[in-house]
Amino acid sequence: MKRKSDEEEGEKFTVSGSKDFSCRVIKVVTSLLIFVAGVVLGLVASSHFTPEAQLFFPPSSYYKAVQVQEKESCLNGGVREKEDFLDFRRFLKPENLTHKMSDEELFWRASMVPIKRKYPFKRVPKVAFMFLTRGPLPFLPLWERFFKRHEELFSVYIHALPGYDLNVSMTSAFYGRQIPSQELSGEGNRIYYHQSYFASVVNAVRWSRVITAVFQLSIIRVLGKLVNSVRQQCELWSGPLPLDVHWGTVTLADGERRLLANALLDHSNERFVLLSESCIPVYDFVTVYNYLTGSAQSFVESYDDPSRYGRGRYNRNMLPDIKLFQWRKGSQWFEMTRKLAANIISDTKYYTVFKKYCKPSCYPDEHYLPTYLNMFFGSHNSNRSVTWVDWSKGGPHPAAFGGSDITEGFIQSIRNNGSMCAYNSDYTSICYLFARKFAPSALEPLLNLTSTVMKF
Ligand SMILES: *[C@@H]1O[C@H](CO)[C@@H](O)[C@H](O)[C@H]1NC(C)=O
Ligand SMILES: *[C@@H]1O[C@H](CO)[C@@H](O)[C@H](O)[C@H]1NC(C)=O
Ligand SMILES: *[C@@H]1O[C@H](CO)[C@@H](O)[C@H](O)[C@H]1NC(C)=O
Ligand SMILES: *[C@@H]1O[C@H](CO)[C@@H](O)[C@H](O)[C@H]1NC(C)=O
Ligand SMILES: *[C@@H]1O[C@H](CO)[C@@H](O)[C@H](O)[C@H]1NC(C)=O
């Protein structure tokens, strides 16, 4: 009986059936396995210096998520509520701005435009205020006052330096409005590389039929435990992951597009304003809202500058996609419609040309939008900006205004200096809704002027 089972096992192990040979095979395979396990361990350990290590074993995190979910439902009296996985409200407006989409996934999702014109819900168009900032927002109190009592008509998005967390109270319009700023798309390839490595290990194990299923399982279990303990150790050792790695290569234009894409996920957002930390509002919310939602055109500055700061930055390598006569310049602080926003984030062709050939002293954030809109959406654009700025002092940077500059007359002159601006085939005395650049010291005097001059 014993002999027979040995024979049977022998048959499983080797072609010849010789016991000695099978032992040698086991030895070889085992040492091979241990070697591969070493490689895997090495990979896992080294991958701990990059964030994708968490994705190495997605199943375990998946199980954890399920466990957490089940625990939570246990707390709710043990009855698991029937979940609506195609929840409509969540589709229209994400509850939480946190997501794990890569840029590629995010931009694809944000580019969805309904063909059906009528909305199956009461849609109140909102203005998305998108703040592109490095760190704190010094004019937060001013903006909060500006937004007060209009919660239904706007949404705020903040793109800050990775690792920077805006600390605001839960009642603030800025609370929980920071978008994920991590560049994730570049890591996809590396994740794939690790996974294929893992797959080949699994395949090798499967292929070597010498090892019984039980043996395989126990090896994998031991390996899993080892790997997990190493992972935990590494997490303890490496501390917070270096978050800043991708920022250096991320241009401002990337940040703008990422803000647009995140804001497009809320289907109520109809107008999109890009602002910096040094921007202030010069009119009250209702005036700004009516001005923007009532306009048939977008407000993206776009002009032909024949000097070396304009046409001089054009690169002939952009031919035949972009021609010199199409080249435009303009301020990066734009305002645009949903239609244009969806088109901007869907464009890969021209953005790639800019990334390739528009390098210092050419700046994509000053040329990409003006040129792209000029080429394809000229009639949708007013070609002027609604953000006031003072270039009159010359030099590479506009004038910045501090506390001592803030007077009633100064703000009044930004609101209306006597000239008129084109608006919906008519003219209006309101040319600017926002202004830059202001230093933090301007906050106090500005707060003093809101009720008398800005009327909010
Ligand atoms: C956030 O701000 C509050 C009050 O301004 C302060 O008490 C708290 O320590 C801050 N938290 C962090 C993490 O900076
Ligand atoms: C959004 O979700 C993340 C992760 O689940 C959580 O940390 C964060 O507090 C949530 N934010 C808000 C505003 O609920
Ligand atoms: C803006 O410029 C485009 C050309 O890019 C032109 O077609 C359009 O009429 C201009 N808009 C206004 C309001 O002047
Ligand atoms: C008013 O502002 C416009 C646009 O910035 C400018 O062209 C014009 O010269 C200004 N007028 C006066 C009187 O300052
Ligand atoms: C604010 O206005 C009050 C009076 O209206 C004045 O006394 C005070 O100095 C002003 N503060 C600043 C910082 O301008």
Provide the token pair at 68: 């957490």
- Which of 177, 166, 170 has the alpha carbon at shortest distance from 128? 177
- Among protein residues, the one with the nearest Cα to ligand 4's atom 6 is 419
Residue 62 domain-assigned? Answer: no
- Among protein residues, the one with the nearest Cα to ligand 2's atom 13 is 176
> For a substitution probing ligand 2, which of 93, 97, 98 has the most ligand atoms within 8 Å of its CB?
98
Residues 160 and 216 in one domain: no
Domain containing residue 281: 111-179+248-382
Q: Is the bond leading into 361 cis (omega within 30 degrees of zero)?
A: yes
Residue 51 confidence (pLDDT) = 40
Q: Is 444 in the pocket of ligand 5 (CB under 6 A)?
A: yes
State the helix-helix crossing angle for 188-207 and 19-46, rounded to 10 degrees.
170
- Among protein residues, the one with the nearest Cα to ligand 4's atom 8 is 419
Instruction: For residue 415, report the distance from its CA to the centre of ligand 5, in Å.
Output: 21
Residues 308 and 171 in one domain: yes
pLDDT band at residue 87, thresholds of 50, 70 and 90? confident
Instruction: For residue 86, report the distance from its CA to the centre of ligand 2, in Å.
Output: 20
Q: What share of the chain has pLDDT > 90, as a percent?
A: 55
Dist CA 98 CA 78 (whole Å): 28
- Burial letters for 100-109: b for 16+ Cβ neighbours within 10 Å, e otherwise? ebbbeebbee
Q: Is 176 in the pocket of ligand 2 (CB under 6 A)?
A: yes
pLDDT band at residue 17, thresholds of 50, 70 and 90? very low
Residues 211 and 290 in one domain: no
Helices (H), 239-363: 252-264, 285-293, 338-346, 349-357
Residues 340 and 312 in one domain: yes
Residue 190 confidence (pLDDT) = 32
Residues 266 and 339 in one domain: yes
Residues 168 and 257 in one domain: yes
At 11 the three-state DSSP class reads: helix
Dist CA 1 CA 87 (whole Å): 62
- State the closest ligand 2 atom to the C-alpha of 95, by its place in the atom list counted from 1: 14
Q: Is 390 in the pocket of ligand 5 (CB under 6 A)?
A: no
Does the pLDDT value for residue 210 go beyond 50? no
DSSP collapsed to 3 states, 14-44: CCCCCHHHHHHHHHHHHHHHHHHHHHHHHHH
Pocket of ligand 3 (CB under 6 A): 374, 378-379, 381-383, 422
Residue 397 confidence (pLDDT) = 87
* Mean of the per-residue pLDDT values of the chain: 78
Q: How far is CA 81 from CA 66, 73, 249, 272, in A?
A: 14, 7, 45, 37
Residues 170 and 258 in one domain: yes
Domain count, the chain: 2
> How deeply is 396 buried, as exposed, middle or buried, from its count of CB atoms within 10 A (0-12, 13-18, 19+)?
exposed
Query: Comparing 89-98, 115-124, 344-353, 386-395, which segment has the lowest mean pLDDT?
Result: 89-98
Dist CA 171 CA 282 (whole Å): 23
**Cα torsion 208, 214, 219, 223: sign:** positive
Residue 124 domain-assigned? Answer: yes
Does the pLDDT value for residue 445 go beyond 60? yes
Starting from the CA of residue 414, give the closest ligand: 4
Q: Is 98 in the pocket of ligand 2 (CB under 6 A)?
A: yes
Residue 249 confidence (pLDDT) = 39
- Among protein residues, the one with the nearest Cα to ligand 4's atom 1 is 417
Does the pLDDT value for residue 280 go beyond 50? yes
Residues 214 and 362 in one domain: no
Q: Is 448 in the pocket of ligand 5 (CB under 6 A)?
A: yes
Residues 274 and 156 in one domain: yes
